[in-house]
A = this chain, B = another copy of it.
Amino acid sequence: MRVAVDAMGAEKGIGIVIEGALRAIEENPEIEVTLVGDEARIQDKIKSFSFTKPPFSIIHAPQVIEMSDSATASLKTKRNSSVSVVVDLVKEGKVDGLVSAGNTGAVMATSLLKLGKVRGVKRPCLAAVFPTLDGGKVVILDVGANVDCRPDYLFQFAVMGSIYAYKVLKRRRPRVGLLSIGAEENKGNELVLQTHKLLSQSSLNFVGNIEGGDITGGSVEVVVCDGFVGNIILKFAEGLARTALAIVDEELKSVLPGLVRMVSGKWLERLKKDFDYAEYGGVPLMGVKGVCVIAHGASSSKAIKNAILASFQYAQGRINQHIEMALAKKGVKDELTEG
């Protein structure tokens, strides 16, 4: 299984990406990594690592798309960017998936244009995984690919989310909740009211509307919403996590002496792990014809590692084929239905 990794997009630099690649290969030796980016800069950074021959290949891409670049403009003006080259590698079948921590808009636009959509998919969407109160996981989609949605898009997000929850989170008959402002089916905006009807008529394991407070409550494995709401939720969670950690940290410094701090470090780590969504390592762009995982711009090496592993799981789970079959209503497996 081969994964192409954009070496240039991470805010913390090329070294973080190299480290992430090394950790992914170490954790799963089945994965072959190709780093894509400015070869001279990658080679230069490699010198600070201890190996003589790197355990990954390198493909040169002379241009870099900056965070400030327009997504659509960079498609035209930077045809030899690292983003463009990783997408080409997927398109040409030279790798099984890609990972990029670069400009999200540019990665989405390039993937959509060059790879196209899986047959039957109206709008690809971004799927993020959140931890739940009971120690489980929930996939929330769309978190930012589509700001204005129609009910049929949201219905497809539910199908794609169910497949992801089954194949990657390993949950049979994943429960689907529609994000709204009340549990009753008459609560919500026009989009939600119409989507509720579509989901009720489907064979998915739809449990009805859920509220904001239920997202991380563990009552569902799939949360469906439009990309505007999902993106705000995702970033709000990141913001709150930083606030919580800052408060805990500041207060710990002032109140707890050194030794106790070491002891309490254990749960601080857990809090950090549970709330730092940058650690989660990337959201797949579901519904494009190819495997495309977008990592957080501020990714750590662990986040890059997790994104590479996610790319592997996505490809190995043949998720795109399952989406195509499910939307053609030829292969909706029992594992996805309410049973």
Contact = CB atoms under 8 A, between A and B. Distances in A.
Contacts of A270: 247, 251
Contact of A266 (B144, B236, B251): B251
Interface string A128-149: 0000010000000000100110
A232 B235 contact: no
Given A144-B181, A212-B236, A248 B228 contact: no
A236 B215 contact: yes
Nearest to A227: B181
A15 interface: no
A239 B215 contact: yes
Nearest to A259: B260
A59 to B, nearest CB: 30
Contacts of A89: none
Given A227-B181, A270-B247, A211 B235 contact: yes
Contacts of A109: none
Contacts of A246: 133
A212 B226 CA distance: 15
Interface in A220-240: 225-229, 231-240
- Label chain A's interface by main secondary structure: helix
Contact of A240 (B225, B240, B255): B240
A244 interface: yes
Max chain B Cβ within 10 angstroms of own Cβ: one of A234, A243, A246, A256: A243
A188 B264 CA distance: 42
Contact of A231 (B181, B225, B239, B263): B181
Contacts of A25: none
Given A228-B189, A236-B215, A271 B252 contact: no
Interface in A50-74: none
Contact of A256 (B229, B244, B251, B260): B260
Contacts of A256: 260, 263-264
Contact of A229 (B214, B227, B232, B275): B232
A217 interface: yes
A260 B190 CA distance: 52
Given A227-B181, A271-B247, A237 B239 contact: no
15 contacts: A133-B242, A181-B235, A212-B232, A212-B235, A213-B242, A214-B235, A215-B236, A216-B240, A229-B232, A243-B274, A244-B275, A251-B271, A254-B267, A255-B267, A256-B263
Interface of A: 133, 144, 147-148, 179-181, 188-190, 192, 211-217, 225-229, 231-240, 242-244, 246-248, 251-252, 254-256, 260, 263-264, 266-267, 270-271, 274-275
Q: Which 6 A-B pairs have the closest CB atoms?
A: A251-B267, A212-B235, A213-B239, A212-B236, A212-B232, A213-B235
